[in-house]
């Protein structure tokens, strides 16, 4: 998010930022690791929890939402003086969707939301782009990481179903057991889920099942790129190898932000 926001700001694009979790804090909320704070330039629009807005320098308060977080309601604000900010956006997918639209309405030309995969449902069916981030901790070898990335991109990038063709709609999460049952029944119709986040199958299992079923969705996601981190908590990979292998596996532009490399 930082890299995209920073590049967009340098090009004079008005940026809107929020988070499907929490971002910008000095210590990670999950593992308490120190991390860089989020330094924002004037004119950046943000959607964040009321109690996370810094008292100084004052921000322009653009609007107050009805969405509640653990740190107070979500506030739309504009940065007037460059400073460090923390972001915590609305907790529900439907609220996040509305939040993105409101940031656009307040003048953001590019809205960037950082968050976990299970929150991307909010983006389904819109004009949004998804950038997946994958790192060395995802699997023990470069090939295995690339396979995980390929499966993830394949899952998130499910095509929209053909309404003129035969379909079987799945109204709940499609897990491996349910998918295997469909395969065992010789299912040839399009298997349609609401959006790609409704498929709870990852890695090799997804690739195998996707080869046997016509998996489709009602509201699709637009995956446009991936980022890789070659150094994890448990292992590190040769950066260029990881970059190229993930690019080959996903057929997407892939970026290593730390190494300033692309494939």
Q: Of 74, 29, 68, which is closest to residue 50 (Cα–Cα)?
A: 74
Does 80 bind other proteins (CB under 8 A)? Our answer is: yes
- The C-alpha atoms of residue 4 and residue 131 are separated, in whole angstroms, by 11
Is residue 198 within 8 Å of residue 93, measured between CB atoms?
A: no
Angle, CA of 92, 252 and 256, to the nearest 5°:
80
Q: Which of 116, 177, 184, 260 binds other proteins (CB under 8 A)?
A: 260
Q: Which of 6, 68, 222, 244 binds other proteins (CB under 8 A)?
A: 6
Does 70 bind other proteins (CB under 8 A)? Our answer is: no
Q: Which of 46, 48, 69, 78 binds other proteins (CB under 8 A)?
A: 78
161 vs 237, beta carbon nearer other proteins: 237
- The C-alpha atoms of residue 161 and residue 155 are separated, in whole angstroms, by 14
Q: How many CB atoms lie within 10 A of CB 1?
A: 19
Piece of 112-120, 148-156, 175-183, 231-239 that binds other proteins (CB under 8 A): 231-239
Q: Which of 30, 34, 116, 211 binds other proteins (CB under 8 A)?
A: 34
90 vs 157, beta carbon nearer other proteins: 90
Does 33 bind other proteins (CB under 8 A)? Our answer is: yes
Q: Residue holding tokens 């690339």?
A: 146
Which alpha helices (DSSP H) does the chain contain, by range? 2-10, 93-105, 142-156, 176-184, 203-212, 239-250
Chain positions contacting other proteins, by CB under 8 A:
2-3, 6, 33-37, 39, 50, 53, 55-64, 75-78, 80-82, 106-107, 230-233, 236, 258-260
């Amino acid at each position: 998010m930082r890299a995209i926001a920073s590049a967009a700001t340098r090009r004079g694009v008005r940026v809107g930022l929020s988070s499907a979790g929490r971002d910008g804090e000095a210590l990670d909320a999950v593992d308490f690791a120190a991390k860089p704070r989020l330094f924002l330039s004037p004119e950046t629009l943000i959607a964040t929890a009321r109690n996370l807005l810094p008292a100084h320098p004052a921000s322009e308060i653009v609007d107050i939402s009805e969405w509640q977080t653990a740190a107070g309601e979500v506030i739309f604000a504009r940065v007037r003086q460059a400073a460090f900010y923390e972001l915590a956006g609305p907790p529900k997918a439907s609220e996040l969707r509305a939040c993105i639209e409101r940031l656009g309405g307040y003048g953001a030309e590019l809205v960037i939301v950082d968050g976990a995969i299970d929150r991307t449902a909010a983006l389904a069916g819109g004009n949004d782009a998804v950038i997946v981030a994958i790192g060395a901790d995802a699997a023990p070898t470069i090939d295995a990481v690339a396979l995980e990335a390929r499966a993830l991109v394949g899952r998130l990038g499910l095509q929209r179903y053909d309404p003129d063709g035969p379909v079987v709609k799945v109204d709940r999460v499609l897990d491996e057991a349910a998918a295997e049952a469909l395969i065992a029944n010789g299912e040839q119709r399009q298997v349609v889920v609401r959006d790609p986040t409704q498929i709870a199958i990852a890695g090799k299992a997804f690739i195998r099942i996707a080869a046997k079923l016509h998996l489709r969705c009602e509201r699709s996601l637009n995956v446009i790129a991936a980022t890789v981190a070659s150094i994890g908590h448990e292992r590190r990979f040769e950066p260029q190898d990881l970059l190229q292998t993930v690019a080959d596996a996903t057929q997407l532009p892939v970026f290593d932000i730390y190494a300033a490399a692309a494939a």
